[in-house]
Chain A
Amino acid sequence: MNAMPSLSDPIAMEVFSNRLLSITEDMGNTLIRSSFSTNIKERKDCSVGLFDAAGRLVAQASHIPLHLGSLMGSVKAVLQACPIERMREGDAFVCNDPFLAGGTHTPDIAVVTPVFIEGEPRYIAANVGHHSDVGGPTPGSISGGATSIFAEGLRIPVTRLVRAGELDDGLLNLIAQNSREPEERALDLKVQIASNERGARLVQGLVQQMGLAAVIAATDDLLAYTARRLRNRIRDMADGSAQSSAWLDDDGVGGDPVPIIARVTVEGETLVVDFAGSAPQARGAMNVAESALRATVYYAVKTLLDPGLLPNQGMASCIEIRAPEGSIVNPRFPAATGARSITCNKIARALFGAFAELLPPERAMAASLDSVPVIIFSGERRLQDGTFVYLESMGGGVGARHNADGMDGVHVHVTNTSNLPAEALENEYALLVDEYALVEGSGGAGRHRGGMGIARQIRATRDGVIFSARSDGHRAGAPGLFGGLPGGTARLLRNPGTPQEEELSSKAANLVLKAGESVRLETPGGGGFGAPAERDPRALAIDIADGRFTIEAARRDYGAPLVVRATAED
């Protein structure tokens, strides 16, 4: 039996929780609605949060798991650089640096604003948005091959951007002009400032409505409740420890596969997550800064133990993270950290693997594509009215679970980004989509099948289109669970289906395509769950009829007897 805590007023807490979440939702809506850049407005690559004066996270609206709890780093850095008693009403701080200011990578710029109640700074409103470019040699400021943070654009330590209500135009302009899209930067930063101001007004309204003492009491209840809820889930797990590993194909620059090792230990009501044994920090930009690591761990815990858990300090207080200094999960200055999302998804794979040994099988999930495959094209626009940079971050197969096949062709773990429709991209760019399809045979066989990867094949319609990729999982497929087979590997091809077909490396960079040349990225599938021979023959028959794999592959992976039964029943 789980311990039932005594909350001072569970009804008031629930009402308060809704009011708080309304405030972060309002801030998030303001940010998304008013921003200009596609990254924030459409891809919702942004998050907002409320903190108390001590820097405790009270509420967060996170639209992408990679930001879960990541504002904690920025707020901590701001409070260190400028103790709260030195803040003035109307101040706002800006920062992005992973080493100086708790950032996750340079394009994620945070704005942090104190909230004053009756002349005292009592709360902090914060938000972060992914800016599509902050300068540096590569458009987008992220390159897997970047070997130091100095190749990743502008570094912003904690800096006061607004002083007592007065925006520092020079500073804003300095940040904007360091970007390839200065107009967008300035617009979006102003929107970030305004979103916090809106949050501040709403918090002031809430305090006026409830009284400060009641707000503080309800906040304490809410954090205690969240911690209790997670501690109950941790207590449900047997005391013990499990370790699992995941491998990156390379460190972004090349070389051998790179291990990520996660050990999860249940110590009573606390989880200890230790990454000892993980690879040394990467030469390239695959390194994960502290805030991004924390987001990934919180994501895995929330997903596997309690998807409805509120992200606040109560959640964080039950989890201890240890990462060896100088490793890929805790790099030393001046490591590059831009391309961390692929590594974060590999960390999630290792964590899911370790948790699978500590949780009952019905909570476990086989490995997924566990990558964030990105293809980037640049060149002339279709109507020759300028140049374009087109970045597509692709989904793939999700791992199977105890009672369901893995989802086909979706984003997994720390990202969840929409595709650009073929008709939209052909309209804008000198490109043609030859195929957008599920990769047949890519779902790992099992009692429940892993999800299928995605193939996207794009042809240049004019000479001089430049292509780069940032992908992973080209060497080994996503492992299955409890006897399930691995999913298919990723493949990057140039001119597929022609005599000139050639397989490219997962980090192919700056290829120049002539008109009529095409590239094709096939993303990995998910791993299967349970022995393939135990698959429901009807489900197998549908898979075969649907062409999800060939009948030969079915005989190989599921066994001839099951295929006979399946085809007989069809």
Chain B
Amino acid sequence: MYRIGFDVGGTFTDFTVHDVRDGSLRYFKTPSTPADPSEAIEAGLRALFGEFGIAAEEVSFVGHGTTVATNMVIERRGVRTGLITTKGFRDVLEIGRQTRPSLYDYSVANPSPLVPRALRIEVAERIDAAGDELLPLDEEAVSSAARRLGEAGVKAVGICFLHAYLRDAHERRAAEIVRGILPEAYVSTSSEVLPEFREYERFSTTVINAYVGPRMERYLERFLARLNDLGATVPPYTIHSNGGLMSVETVRAFPVRTCLSGPAAGVVGAAEVARAAGFPDVVTYDVGGTSTDVSLIANGRPAFATSRLVADYPVRTPMVDVHVIGAGGGSIAWIDDAGALKVGPHSAGADPGPVAYGQGGKEPTLTDANIVLHRLDPVSLLGGRMTVQEAAAHQAIEEKIASPLGLTVEQAALGIIRIAVSNMSRAIRAVSTEKGHDLANFALFPFGGAGPLHASAVARECGIRRVLVPQEPGTMCARGILMSDISLDFVRSEVVQATEESWPGIMERFASMEAQGRDWLDASQVPTEHRTFARVIDARYKGQNHEVQVTLPDAGGFTLAEFRAAFTVAHRQEYGYDVPDRVIEVVNCRLKAVGAVERPATPPQGAAAAMPAPRASRSVHFDEGWRNTPIFDRVALGAGLRIPGPAIIDEMSSTTVVEPGQSVTMDAAGNLILEIAA
């Protein structure tokens, strides 16, 4: 039997196949088909079934990472959506937090709300902060709002009332009325999508859910039909932003939870690979064409966040904390009129791309610098599928950078790389210091096609001493899906002081969420022994508006005294101090229902018999100048092998550069470990 994970990226759809009998992993890649992403999935599966000799019936698990919802928001391709909201609050979606996105640059504006003002309709109703009804729902107004929205051609409706996280009766009744009048419409209520306090983030998340809902449904239908055509009979899972798997039915109801699908899987996979390799503290670094994703894993656990922006709209849902840096292989090098060399923020992206790709790119990029210095193969890339025009890259760097600065082309290319590395390093340091971590205690875990290319330079600049390069770094997200469990997040939101009187009620919130979680796990057919319920309380000192997360044990009771002690520890960890005797407020109670997915371990890498002969060698330019450098195929390497730099290690999805003076070893799991000299 086989377990298959795949991740749909902007350029490629990546597959990882796990053979359950011997635990081995195989990787595959096919160009993405943005118009209908399921097309590349089908094509890829067909091709890899043929290549690896797999029959559809032998597939016991299918999990996928998708950017369908995210791209719909970025490209504004969702459906026409209406909003029904509490009287007085139709502009909440537009005012947001009343801040401008850039302090000094007024050409950067907030995005227009996904629901235009004309389609945001107020109705009389009101719940107060105690959850009491101040004003009953004006059902007549809801009906007329629904009719107006219907006439305006909306295909989805968000229903967002104030304090609905405390009492959802008005939202539920309004949804019922809207569904009666607009039976075809996709309806989302804020109390279902995100029952958490703070109206703007809740409304925004609910509206995005509605906006992407109908087209996500259609995509899922096509996806299921194609799997069916292939003869795959297992129900597929989708990875959600929190790094867990969920069923197609859940995605249909909560598509907004997939907004960080692929990157989350990559981080979850990285955490597991790193922990198994003996690296509990790593910073992941995933370099793509236009951007770089960074996340922190401490004590083997990825950092989680509760919100982020998707195309500048806030989405609040539990998620793996991934920071995006606007620097990648396509970042353009240029000289400003005061004589400084800059790399980025503009990017040549995939189109026109780097000069060396010969697709019309005229501006020298980071990738061009790597080609000119032969860090990347100056003849062809992607296993020979793409030819490289080194001379064109050379000429562009010479004309635009080297001559104006009075440098040689090699000096200019080295400068471009040094600056790009320092830009990335600054962003990585910022991500870690925001959380109070010291990078010296971390290892760097590069993935994505271009991560391992700069990893040792980035590590050196950040004061990191070890780098762990996983197998096929370019398919880490697909591999991570195979390491994920199925899970669903629940939340109860009400601000109460943590006292002996309130504590039983707080514990009661967990009991009711656990009951919901059990129902969901029943529906997902997870056997009892594979279930866990992870519990977290978001809490703060009275007077603060900023919560810290306190993790409770998975099962059993938890006393107020234990909670106070755990809060103190969490506050110290997060902020460096605690305030004894200050009142603590509980804000959100969160429960994650987890169904463990069985997965056999990957077998150990065979030990190296002897030092393999390099596949080839070429002259590569390092800080020390041109050096004749051996090129190894990664698949030819064995565990325990130590290769001195300079060396280049190629594999299907990536290239690892080992600089002179450094060395690389392969561990028992097949990871490359680079030791960085200070």
Task: Assess whether B199 is in contact with A382, with CB atoms less than 8 Å apart.
Answer: no
Query: In the complex, which residues of chain B have a beta carbon less than 8 angstroms from the beta carbon of A232?
Result: 337-338
Task: Assess whether B545 is in contact with A42, with CB atoms less than 8 Å apart.
Answer: yes
Query: In the complex, which residues of chain B have a beta carbon less than 8 angstroms from the beta carbon of A256?
Result: none
Q: At the interface, yes or no: A433 with Cβ under 8 Å from chain B? A: yes
CA distance A26 to B198 in the complex (A): 29
Q: At the interface, yes or no: A213 with Cβ under 8 Å from chain B? A: no
Most A CB within 10 A of own CB, among B98, B109, B423, B497: B98
CA distance A19 to B418 in the complex (A): 12
Q: How far is the CB of A39 from chain B (nearest CB, A)?
A: 11
Q: At the interface, yes or no: A499 with Cβ under 8 Å from chain B? A: no
Query: In the complex, which residues of chain A have a beta carbon less than 8 angstroms from the beta carbon of B430?
Result: 22, 25-26, 29
Contact A423-B579, Cβ < 8 Å, known A225-B340, A416-B100 = no
- The stretch from A5-13, A76-84, A100-108, A328-336 touching chain B is A5-13
Task: Assess whether A438 is in contact with B97, with CB atoms less than 8 Å apart.
Answer: no
- The stretch from A91-99, A117-125, A155-163, A540-548 touching chain B is A540-548
Count of CB-CB pairs between chains A and B under 8 Å = 202
Query: In the complex, which residues of chain A have a beta carbon less than 8 angstroms from the beta carbon of B579?
Result: 36, 183, 187
Q: At the interface, yes or no: A427 with Cβ under 8 Å from chain B? A: yes
Task: Assess whether B98 is in contact with A418, with CB atoms less than 8 Å apart.
Answer: yes
Enumerate B191-221 residues with CB–CB distance to A below 8 Å.
Answer: 197-200
Which residue on chain B has the smallest CB distance to residue A9?
A: B415
- The stretch from A403-411, A488-496, A530-538 touching chain B is A403-411
Q: Digitize A20-39: 1 where CB-to-B-CB distance is under 8 Å, 0 elsewhere.
A: 01100110011001101010
Query: In the complex, which residues of chain A have a beta carbon less than 8 angstroms from the beta carbon of B495?
Result: 427
Query: In the complex, which residues of chain B have a beta carbon less than 8 angstroms from the beta carbon of A385?
Result: 497
Which residue on chain B has the smallest CB distance to residue A25?
A: B430
Task: Assess whether A436 is in contact with B95, with CB atoms less than 8 Å apart.
Answer: yes
Task: Assess whether A42 is in contact with B100, with CB atoms less than 8 Å apart.
Answer: no
CA distance A417 to B103 in the complex (A): 11
Task: Assess whether A38 is in contact with B543, with CB atoms less than 8 Å apart.
Answer: yes
CA distance A419 to B199 in the complex (A): 12
Q: At the interface, yes or no: B374 with Cβ under 8 Å from chain A? A: no
Q: At the interface, yes or no: A426 with Cβ under 8 Å from chain B? A: yes
Q: At the interface, yes or no: A175 with Cβ under 8 Å from chain B? A: no
Query: In the complex, which residues of chain A have a beta carbon less than 8 angstroms from the beta carbon of B129?
Result: 382, 423, 426-427
Q: At the interface, yes or no: B21 with Cβ under 8 Å from chain A? A: no
Q: At the interface, yes or no: B88 with Cβ under 8 Å from chain A? A: yes
Which of A13, A14, A409 contacts B91, CB < 8 Å?
Answer: A409
Which of A14, A434, A547 contacts B88, CB < 8 Å?
Answer: A434
Q: At the interface, yes or no: A510 with Cβ under 8 Å from chain B? A: no
Query: In the complex, which residues of chain A have a beta carbon less than 8 angstroms from the beta carbon of B197?
Result: 421, 423-424, 427
Which of B100, B337, B429, B544 contacts A36, CB < 8 Å?
Answer: B544
Q: Digitize B541-567: 1 where CB-to-A-CB distance is under 8 Å, 0 elsewhere.
A: 101111000000000000000000000
Q: At the interface, yes or no: B62 with Cβ under 8 Å from chain A? A: no
Q: At the interface, yes or no: A338 with Cβ under 8 Å from chain B? A: no
Q: Digitize B419-453: 1 where CB-to-A-CB distance is under 8 Å, 0 elsewhere.
A: 10011011001100111100000000000000000
Task: Assess whether B544 is in contact with A407, with CB atoms less than 8 Å apart.
Answer: no
CA distance A7 to B579 in the complex (A): 50
Which of A2, A65, A187, A423 contacts B198, CB < 8 Å?
Answer: A423
Query: In the complex, which residues of chain A have a beta carbon less than 8 angstroms from the beta carbon of B323?
Result: none
CA distance A29 to B99 in the complex (A): 20
Most B CB within 10 A of own CB, among A19, A226, A422: A422
Task: Assess whether B199 is in contact with A421, with CB atoms less than 8 Å apart.
Answer: yes
Task: Assess whether B339 is in contact with A10, with CB atoms less than 8 Å apart.
Answer: yes
Q: How far is the CB of A297 from chain B (nearest CB, A)?
A: 13
Enumerate B510-552 residues with CB–CB distance to A below 8 Å.
Answer: 541, 543-546
Q: How far is the CB of B501 from chain A (nearest CB, A)?
A: 12
Task: Assess whether A546 is in contact with B117, with CB atoms less than 8 Å apart.
Answer: yes
Enumerate B78-113 residues with CB–CB distance to A below 8 Å.
Answer: 88-92, 94-95, 97-100, 102-107, 109-110
Task: Assess whether B99 is in contact with A417, with CB atoms less than 8 Å apart.
Answer: yes
Which residue on chain A has the smallest CB distance to residue B201?
A: A421
Which residue on chain A has the smallest CB distance to residue B164?
A: A423
CA distance A13 to B341 in the complex (A): 9
Task: Assess whether A18 is in contact with B425, with CB atoms less than 8 Å apart.
Answer: yes
Which of B88, B163, B337 contacts A436, CB < 8 Å?
Answer: B88
Which residue on chain A has the smallest CB distance to residue B345?
A: A308
Q: At the interface, yes or no: A228 with Cβ under 8 Å from chain B? A: yes
Contact A41-B110, Cβ < 8 Å, known A18-B425, A36-B579, A409-B98 = no
Task: Assess whether B198 is in contact with A421, with CB atoms less than 8 Å apart.
Answer: yes
Q: At the interface, yes or no: B136 with Cβ under 8 Å from chain A? A: no
Query: In the complex, which residues of chain A have a beta carbon less than 8 angstroms from the beta carbon of B429?
Result: 22, 25-26
Task: Assess whether B98 is in contact with A2, with CB atoms less than 8 Å apart.
Answer: no
Task: Assess whether A33 is in contact with B436, with CB atoms less than 8 Å apart.
Answer: yes
Which of B99, B162, B341 contacts A10, CB < 8 Å?
Answer: B341
Enumerate B257-279 residues with CB–CB distance to A below 8 Å.
Answer: none
CA distance A64 to B107 in the complex (A): 18
Task: Assess whether B104 is in contact with A303, with CB atoms less than 8 Å apart.
Answer: yes
CA distance A527 to B647 in the complex (A): 62
Q: How far is the CB of A109 from chain B (nearest CB, A)?
A: 19
Q: At the interface, yes or no: B75 with Cβ under 8 Å from chain A? A: no
Query: In the complex, which residues of chain A have a beta carbon less than 8 angstroms from the beta carbon of B425?
Result: 18, 22
Q: At the interface, yes or no: B405 with Cβ under 8 Å from chain A? A: yes
Q: At the interface, yes or no: A437 with Cβ under 8 Å from chain B? A: yes
CA distance A299 to B106 in the complex (A): 12
Query: In the complex, which residues of chain B have a beta carbon less than 8 angstroms from the beta carbon of A13?
Result: 340
Task: Assess whether A307 is in contact with B198, with CB atoms less than 8 Å apart.
Answer: no
Task: Assess whether A423 is in contact with B116, with CB atoms less than 8 Å apart.
Answer: no
Q: At the interface, yes or no: B183 with Cβ under 8 Å from chain A? A: no
Contact A10-B405, Cβ < 8 Å, known A42-B546, A225-B338 = yes
Query: In the complex, which residues of chain A have a beta carbon less than 8 angstroms from the beta carbon of B105?
Result: 303, 307
Q: Digitize B562-590: 1 where CB-to-A-CB distance is under 8 Å, 0 elsewhere.
A: 00000000000011110100000000000
Q: At the interface, yes or no: B51 with Cβ under 8 Å from chain A? A: no
Contact A418-B336, Cβ < 8 Å, known A401-B107, A433-B88 = no
Task: Assess whether A14 is in contact with B433, with CB atoms less than 8 Å apart.
Answer: no
Query: In the complex, which residues of chain A have a beta carbon less than 8 angstroms from the beta carbon of B22?
Result: none
CA distance A29 to B405 in the complex (A): 36
Contact A421-B200, Cβ < 8 Å, known A25-B429, A437-B90, A542-B116 = yes
Q: How far is the CB of A343 from chain B (nearest CB, A)?
A: 19
Contact A187-B577, Cβ < 8 Å, known A422-B89, A437-B89 = yes
Q: Digitize B301-340: 1 where CB-to-A-CB distance is under 8 Å, 0 elsewhere.
A: 0000000000000000000000000000000000111111
Q: At the interface, yes or no: A474 with Cβ under 8 Å from chain B? A: no
Query: In the complex, which residues of chain A have a beta carbon less than 8 angstroms from the beta carbon of B107?
Result: 401, 404
Q: At the interface, yes or no: B128 with Cβ under 8 Å from chain A? A: yes
Task: Assess whether A34 is in contact with B422, with CB atoms less than 8 Å apart.
Answer: no
Task: Assess whether A38 is in contact with B544, with CB atoms less than 8 Å apart.
Answer: yes
Task: Assess whether A432 is in contact with B128, with CB atoms less than 8 Å apart.
Answer: yes
CA distance A385 to B579 in the complex (A): 19
Which residue on chain B has the smallest CB distance to residue A437?
A: B91
Task: Assess whether B98 is in contact with A6, with CB atoms less than 8 Å apart.
Answer: no
Query: In the complex, which residues of chain B have a beta carbon less than 8 angstroms from the beta carbon of A11?
Result: 341, 414-415, 418-419
Which residue on chain B has the smallest CB distance to residue A542?
A: B116
Q: Digitize A427-470: 1 where CB-to-B-CB distance is under 8 Å, 0 elsewhere.
A: 10000111111100000000000000010010000000000000
Q: At the interface, yes or no: B610 with Cβ under 8 Å from chain A? A: no
Query: In the complex, which residues of chain A have a beta carbon less than 8 angstroms from the beta carbon of B434?
Result: 29, 33
Query: In the complex, which residues of chain A have a beta carbon less than 8 angstroms from the beta carbon of B163?
Result: 423, 426
Contact A25-B433, Cβ < 8 Å, known A5-B338, A183-B579, A232-B337 = yes
Query: In the complex, which residues of chain A have a beta carbon less than 8 angstroms from the beta carbon of B342?
Result: 14
Which of A2, A5, A15, A407 contacts B100, CB < 8 Å?
Answer: A407
A-B contact pairs, 5 of them (CB 8 A): A21-B426, A29-B430, A303-B106, A418-B97, A427-B197
Besides A22-B426, A435-B88, 4 new A-B residue pairs in contact (Cβ under 8 A), listed by A number: A29-B433, A33-B576, A434-B88, A436-B91
Binding site for B on A (CB under 8 A): 2, 4-7, 10-11, 13-15, 18-19, 21-22, 25-26, 29-30, 33-34, 36, 38, 41-42, 64-65, 183-184, 187, 225-226, 228-229, 232, 299, 302-303, 307, 365, 382, 385, 394-395, 398, 401, 404, 407-412, 416-424, 426-427, 432-438, 454, 457, 542, 545-548
